[in-house]
Amino acid sequence: MSTPSIFIDGEAGTTGLGIRERLARLPVAVKSLPEALRKDPAARRDIMAAVDLVVLCLPDAAAKESVALAGELGDRAPRILDASTAHRVAEGWVYGFAEMAPGQARMIAQATRVANPGCYPTGGIALLRPLVDAGLMAPDHPVTVNAASGYSGGGKALIAAHEASGGPAFNLYGLALEHKHVPELQKNARLTRRPIFVPSVAHIRQGMIVSVPLHLDTLPGKPSAADLHECLARRYAGAELVCVAPGNSDLDIAELVDTDRMVLRVHGNEKQRQAVLTASLDNLGKGASGAAVQNIALMLGLSAHTHVMEEAVA
């Protein structure tokens, strides 16, 4: 059996570099173009015809152009994993969150077009989808998702701003409530009411916490925090990269930096009948490059060697 070949279109960006580094775990051949040809349509089309899988690490418009180039190849077109936002809610594309629902990993493995999830929606969907599926949350529940991320996922300008002397300590943004991650969050969490999503960037390179506050008495059947924990634990039982841990009094945004893991928790107060759901992950790991390599392994029928936390999560 020949070694599967991959072309990363946009390999010089943060996500592309992270994917290339992680691909060292897999028995694949990564093909590249000389820098002078990386924007040449004919050269890109030729290399696409010569590989098994193309990974797109590009802005949305450029990703759509690459998909069109691949489409020109007809039967010689490679399979595509798109790490941009361009196709996450598009028809004909499989959403690349393998643990999202039973059978999702199999769908990814069989797909010719897979959209890698956004970092923020990965945490939000992981927390909400099991509750909606189990009837513990109504699809039209008024959901608020808050999140804080490291600055490394924000592009070159944001990285430069934070790495400059005296960079910003904290940025709350997306306050026009039109963040591009909302459509995939709503669709894949199976929410019929548009959620309020409030993201922020902390003065730390990597790490992420996504949180969802809940009034328990507004949920169907008025469940306890323990009921929510049990629902999440049941959904992710046996998952290699997603686990459910007991709630803590506080969380460190950097707890999963340099891993491809995600840890979910339910922090509850039964006296007040309130809870906060949290997802901790590395925005460059399970939130980007780590998820991409997991999807690549599924699409090519390979076994990924994933980072394992050295200590049990408390």
Going residue by residue through the chain (314 aa), what tens digit of pLDDT does each one get? 689 999 999 988 889 999 999 999 899 999 999 988 988 999 999 999 999 999 999 999 999 999 999 999 999 999 999 999 999 999 999 999 999 999 999 999 999 999 999 999 999 999 999 999 999 999 999 999 999 999 988 777 788 888 887 778 899 999 999 999 999 999 999 999 999 999 999 999 999 999 999 999 999 999 999 999 999 999 999 999 999 999 988 999 999 999 999 999 999 999 999 999 999 999 999 999 999 999 999 999 997 543 322 223 33
Residue with tokens 């000389």: 34
What whole-number distance in Å separates Cα of residue 125 and Cα of residue 96? 12
User: Which pLDDT value is given to residue 305?
Assistant: 40
Contacts of 149 by beta carbon, 8 Å cutoff, 6+ apart: 119, 120, 199, 200, 201, 202, 207, 208, 283, 287
**Pairing between strand 5-9 and 53-56?**
parallel
User: Which pLDDT value is given to residue 283?
Assistant: 96
User: Which pLDDT value is given to residue 1?
Assistant: 60
User: Which pLDDT value is given to residue 311?
Assistant: 29
Q: Which residues pair with 196 in a beta bridge?
A: 144
User: Which pLDDT value is given to residue 25?
Assistant: 87
- Predicted TM-score (pTM) of the model is 0.93
Structural domains of the chain sorted by starting position, each given as residue range(s) with its CATH number in brackets: 5-117+289-300 (3.40.50.720), 119-283 (3.30.360.10)
Q: Catalytic positions, please?
A: 119
User: Which pLDDT value is given to residue 304?
Assistant: 54
User: Which pLDDT value is given to residue 313?
Assistant: 33
Q: What is the CA radius of gyration of the chain?
A: 20
User: Which pLDDT value is given to residue 241?
Assistant: 97
Residue with tokens 């059996």: 1
